[in-house]
């Protein structure tokens, strides 16, 4: 039998709630239709933001939302998105299908989104095609509490009080769509930008530097080497991006489909291949943090994974640059396994932002006109919100290995994995059963603690392809039951391909 041992006395560090962060880009139907419908829409809305999506997002307790991109950020000029909406310029969205960007959703609308969902704003500035002055002015416009021209302009646009935006990204993927830079170029640009991004009164902006594509340790070492230690080049965090996307994608849709299948059609081998890609996040966290530690042994600079998620081949019938994809139990298992990795490394990861919140890649919510559904991934976020801010606990999972082949090599992943956290007397234990076919029984035991009450919330099938459709929006949803358990140990069975959260009162 498998076993799970949790030690409530052995804390690994506080789980930063921001690990449960989101990312919303001007891409496909993420912003327009996904959250913004405009005040005149027949879709019920509050100040232009659709009520159904806001309510769904609120229930996930998003701690932070990153915006406006993504690649979009380095071609975005914030002044386009302020002032009377009908006067805002229409631009071409260079990266995402050449769509016309009306700029109806700009800084004030983003702040409103954050207020309605209860999230903190995280704004990404434009390094690739912008200037330090443009970004500096954006911060002053948002945050200055005094009587400057930019603060007056903000007030004239309806916001007398500053927005107090704390998180600022200095560019996005500057090795690619953010300017095609090598790490030395970017370090020099970062230094120059950072010189001007403080001193507006109030709390200093928390500055986030772009990290590498995936787990490219060389990029990280070269960036920090070049950055050096200069008094005015503040850096608060460094952010690698990692997508669970088959490298076969480079070889075209057929090779990609062969390796991981489509978003909704895959066999058991492709199920494990996709999970395998997701699990590479653990190596990234360890190796990127180790590279950062060699320059920052006291960990003053936080590690953020501000884009991550599953990325499937383009969905037939959809614009390939809109990155719309369905979301099944396979995505839910990747989401849960990744959040468990972040929880277990609470001492290393200070924020993470799943890509993306609505209608793009691994979304929480999908919309079609006035209809909306919560995806299995969205349900995982609701189930895991109990971990936010908890003390991550030492756990030991022992289970049989699941064998599979990945690119011609025999591999194995543990059938059960998870994480645990403690808030007062409430222990949250999340357990993922990665097996595509087998129910697994495990003995759960608590070290030096005893359970008074246990409730299990389970997200599972029917089947490994289970997903919600607009015609059947609640096919996959969490089910909660109280367990007749008290004491220090008990046996629990976990359905195949399932995500489980136990709330244990000690
Ligand atoms: O999330 C979609 C895109 O993926 C983002 O715009 C970019 O930063 C990344 O490559």
Q: For 371-397, how does the pLDDT look when each residue is reduced to its tens digit (9 = 90+)?
A: 999 999 999 999 999 999 999 999 999
From the alpha carbon of 243, which atom of ligand 1 is closest? 4
Residue among 122, 133, 138, 134 nearest 172 (CA): 122
pLDDT value, residue 193: 97
Q: Is the pLDDT of residue 319 over 90?
A: yes
Residue among 409, 344, 379 nearest 477 (CA): 379
Q: Which of 39, 307, 412, 426 is catalytic?
A: 307
Return the residue whose CA atom lies nearest to atom 2 of ligand 1. Answer: 70
Q: For 22-49, how does the pLDDT look when each residue is reduced to its tens digit (9 = 90+)?
A: 999 999 999 999 999 999 999 999 999 9
60: CA distance to ligand 1 center in Å? 23
Is there an atom of ligand 1 within 6 Å of 355 CB?
Answer: yes
pLDDT value, residue 249: 82
pLDDT value, residue 231: 61
Mean pLDDT of the chain: 96
Q: Is the pLDDT of residue 419 over 70?
A: yes
Q: Is the pLDDT of residue 202 over 90?
A: no
Return the residue whose CA atom lies nearest to atom 4 of ligand 1. Answer: 70
pLDDT value, residue 144: 97
Q: For 251-306, how does the pLDDT look when each residue is reduced to its tens digit (9 = 90+)?
A: 888 999 999 999 999 999 999 999 999 999 999 999 999 999 999 999 999 999 99
Euclidean distance between CA atoms 31 and 23, whole angstroms:
11
Euclidean distance between CA atoms 380 and 363, whole angstroms:
11
Q: Name the pairing type of β-strands 371-374 and 365-368.
A: antiparallel
354: CA distance to ligand 1 center in Å? 11
Confirm whether 173 is a catalytic residue.
Answer: yes
* Comparison of pLDDT for 230 and 225, the residue scoring more: 225
Is there an atom of ligand 1 within 6 Å of 142 CB?
Answer: no
71: CA distance to ligand 1 center in Å? 6
Answer whether the bond into residue 322 is a cis peptide, omega within 30°: no
Q: Is the pLDDT of residue 230 over 80?
A: no
b/e per residue, 121-159, with b = 16+ CB within 10 A? Answer: bbbbbbbbebebebbbbbbbbbbbeeeeebbebbeeeeb
3 state SS of 295: coil
Q: Is the pLDDT of residue 232 over 80?
A: no
Confirm whether 86 is a catalytic residue.
Answer: no
pLDDT value, residue 248: 85
Is there an atom of ligand 1 within 6 Å of 497 CB?
Answer: no
pLDDT value, residue 203: 81
Q: Is the pLDDT of residue 58 over 80?
A: yes
Is there an atom of ligand 1 within 6 Å of 354 CB?
Answer: no
Q: For 336-372, how does the pLDDT look when each residue is reduced to its tens digit (9 = 90+)?
A: 999 999 999 999 999 999 999 999 999 999 999 999 9
500: CA distance to ligand 1 center in Å? 30
Q: Which of 101, 140, 173, 259 is catalytic?
A: 173
Q: For 424-462, how does the pLDDT look when each residue is reduced to its tens digit (9 = 90+)?
A: 999 999 999 999 999 999 999 999 999 999 999 999 989
pLDDT band of 247, cuts 50, 70, 90: confident
């Amino acid at each position: 039998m498998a076993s799970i041992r949790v030690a409530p006395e052995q804390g690994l560090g506080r789980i930063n709630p921001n690990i449960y962060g989101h990312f919303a880009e001007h891409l496909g139907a993420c912003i327009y239709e996904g959250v913004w419908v405009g005040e005149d829409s027949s879709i019920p809305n509050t100040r232009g933001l659709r009520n159904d999506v806001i309510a769904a997002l609120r229930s996930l307790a998003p701690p932070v939302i990153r915006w406006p991109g993504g690649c979009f950020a380095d071609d975005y000029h914030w002044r386009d998105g302020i002032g009377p909406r009908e006067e805002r310029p229409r631009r071409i969205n260079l990266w995402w299908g050449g769509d016309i960007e009306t700029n109806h959703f700009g800084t004030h609308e983003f702040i409103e989104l954050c207020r309605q969902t209860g999230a903190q704003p995280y704004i990404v500035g434009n390094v690739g095609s912008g200037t330090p002055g443009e970004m500096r002015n954006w911060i002053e416009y948002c945050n200055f509490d005094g009587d400057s021209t930019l603060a007056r302009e903000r007030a004239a646009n309806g916001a007398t009080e500053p927005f107090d935006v704390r998180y600022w990204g200095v560019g996005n993927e500057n090795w690619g769509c953010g300017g095609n830079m090598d790490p030395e170029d970017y370090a020099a640009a970062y230094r120059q930008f950072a010189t001007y991004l403080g001193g507006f009164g109030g709390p200093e902006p928390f500055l986030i530097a772009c990290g590498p594509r995936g787990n490219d340790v060389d990029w990280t070492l070269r960036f920090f080497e070049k950055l050096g230690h200069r008094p005015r080049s503040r850096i608060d965090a460094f952010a690698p991006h990692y997508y669970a996307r088959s490298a076969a994608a480079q070889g075209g849709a057929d090779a990609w489909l062969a390796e991981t299948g489509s978003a909704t059609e895959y066999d058991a081998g492709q199920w494990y291949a996709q999970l395998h890609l997701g699990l590479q996040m653990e190596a990234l966290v360890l190796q990127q943090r180790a590279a950062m530690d060699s320059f920052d042994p006291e960990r003053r600079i936080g590690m953020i994974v501000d884009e991550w998620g599953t990325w499937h081949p383009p969905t037939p019938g959809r614009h390939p640059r809109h990155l719309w994809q369905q979301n099944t139990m396979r995505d839910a298992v990747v989401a849960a396994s990744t959040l468990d990795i972040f929880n277990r490394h609470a001492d290393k990861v200070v924020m993470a932002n799943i890509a993306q919140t609505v209608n793009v890649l691994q979304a929480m919510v999908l919309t079609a006109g006035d209809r909306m559904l919560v995806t299995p991934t969205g349900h995982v976020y609701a189930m895991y919100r109990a971990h936010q801010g908890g003390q991550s606990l030492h756990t030991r999972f022992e289970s049989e290995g699941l064998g599979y082949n990945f690119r011609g090599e025999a591999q194995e992943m543990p059938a059960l994995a998870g994480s645990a956290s403690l808030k007062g007397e409430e222990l949250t234990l999340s357990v993922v059963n990665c097996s595509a076919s087998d129910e697994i029984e495990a003995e759960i035991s608590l070290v030096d603690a005893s359970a008074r009450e246990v409730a299990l919330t389970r997200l599972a099938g029917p089947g490994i392809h289970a997903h919600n459709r607009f015609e059947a929006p609640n096919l996959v949803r969490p089910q909660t039951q109280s367990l007749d358990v008290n004491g220090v140990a008990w046996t629990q069975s976990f359905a195949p391909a399932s995500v489980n959260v136990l709330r244990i009162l000690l």
